[in-house]
A and B are shown apart, each in its own frame.
Chain A
Amino acid sequence: MLRGFLILVLFFLFGEALRLVFLIPVSGGVLGMILMTLTLMLRGRVSDALASASQALISVLVLLIMPGVVGVFFMASQFSGQWLAVSAALLLGTFLSVLTTLLLMKQVVRLSARSRTND
């Protein structure tokens, strides 16, 4: 598992290095993730060490983000006066985007199913 963790760390560092050298506006983690997916597609399989290390990290994602989440309770005054805008954006915005996704996906799946029967 530690061996798998080392692979993840190396991909992350490589992603960070790419970001710094080519001034890519995407975090090193995301670049590392893309590189990881592409590498696995080329290799065609995942080693046990890598699979168990990634599973271990993904299963504690909530733990990793918690120190950041807690910060929301300690900045109340900083954004005072904007809470209404923030709540409206989150609630209404999420409602609309869920509706958009479901309608779009439903239409496209139906259309592609129809074109398949016509072929």
Chain B
Amino acid sequence: MTELAGRFMAIPDVLSASPIFAIGLTLSAFFAGNWLFARLGKPLWMPPVVLSAVMLAAVIAVLSLDYVRYQQGALWITVLLGPATVALGIPLYQQIHHIRAMWKPIVVTLPLAATMAAVYAVVIAWAMGATPEVLASLAPKSVTAPIAIGITEQLGGSVPLMMGGLLITGVVAALFVDLLAQWLKIDDERIVGFALGLNGHAIGTARAFEISHTAGAFASLGMGLTGVFTALILPLVFRL
């Protein structure tokens, strides 16, 4: 009987040697997070990605799996971020007529606002004594994840820390845009959507699609342009 129990206890250890275990865990957490999000009434401050990540971390901790080993298995999922980034070019192309119609305000606002999104965070963290590694992890905080991972790796930051920062930024950006747009009496959905995508990447864009289709289109646009602009500018700035 103890032999059977011993073999039972060894299950996580043996199975986790194969990538399919990490894939199964990640997929389960993804669907569980979405389910719980719907059950909680889709709260703005608690997006599904937070719920999924917390559950996944809890399972890894409870089964006392090695995080590094999990991540090696999950590489089968994360390598898809490359083609997924390329895929963002398709909605960008589909919204090209929106860019043409609003090109002046976009051209003026985007470089300044996207730069400031990084500068505010880096300057505040630097003033409070953060290390260069932390600064490099915070700089791409408003950029959509697949692009931000590339930027952070190039700048020599920590990807897990950057991911955490990205998550918090997306959630609070969605809240702040709602509050400040009301306070500044801005009801132009194009402006609200653009601000959501520019500051809050994918999480802000998801929020914008809840407001209206126009807001969503401008959010994807803001997200895509901020990603490209920041990816081109940040590595050059950090080199100086």
Provide the bound-state CA to CA distance between A41 and B228, in Å. 17
B208 close to A (CB within 8 Å): no
Q: How large is the interface on B (under 10, 10 to 19, 20 to 34, 35 or more residues)?
A: 35 or more
Partner of B195, one of A72, A95, A96, A102: A102
Given the known interface contacts A41-B96, A97-B116, the answer about A71 and B186 at a Cβ–Cβ threshold of 8 Å is: no
How would you classify the secondary structure of chain A's contact residues: helix, strand, loop or mixed?
helix
Q: Check if B149 sits within 8 Å of A68, measured CB to CB.
A: yes
* Interface membership of A53, Cβ < 8 A: yes
* 0/1 interface trace, chain B 148-169, chain A, CB 8 Å (1 if under): 0111011000111101110111
Tally chain A residues at the interface, Cβ within 8 Å: 74
- Given known A46-B90, A112-B105, contact A71–B67 (CB-CB < 8 A): yes
**Contact, CB under 8 Å: B112 / A109:** no
- B46 interface residue per 8 A CB criterion: no
Q: A95 — nearest CB in chain B belongs to which residue?
A: B176
- Given contacts A33-B92, A89-B122, A106-B186, whether A68 and B159 have CB atoms under 8 Å apart is yes
A-B contact pairs, 13 of them (CB 8 A): A27-B154, A29-B86, A54-B89, A57-B84, A57-B87, A66-B52, A67-B71, A73-B57, A84-B128, A91-B172, A96-B120, A104-B109, A104-B112
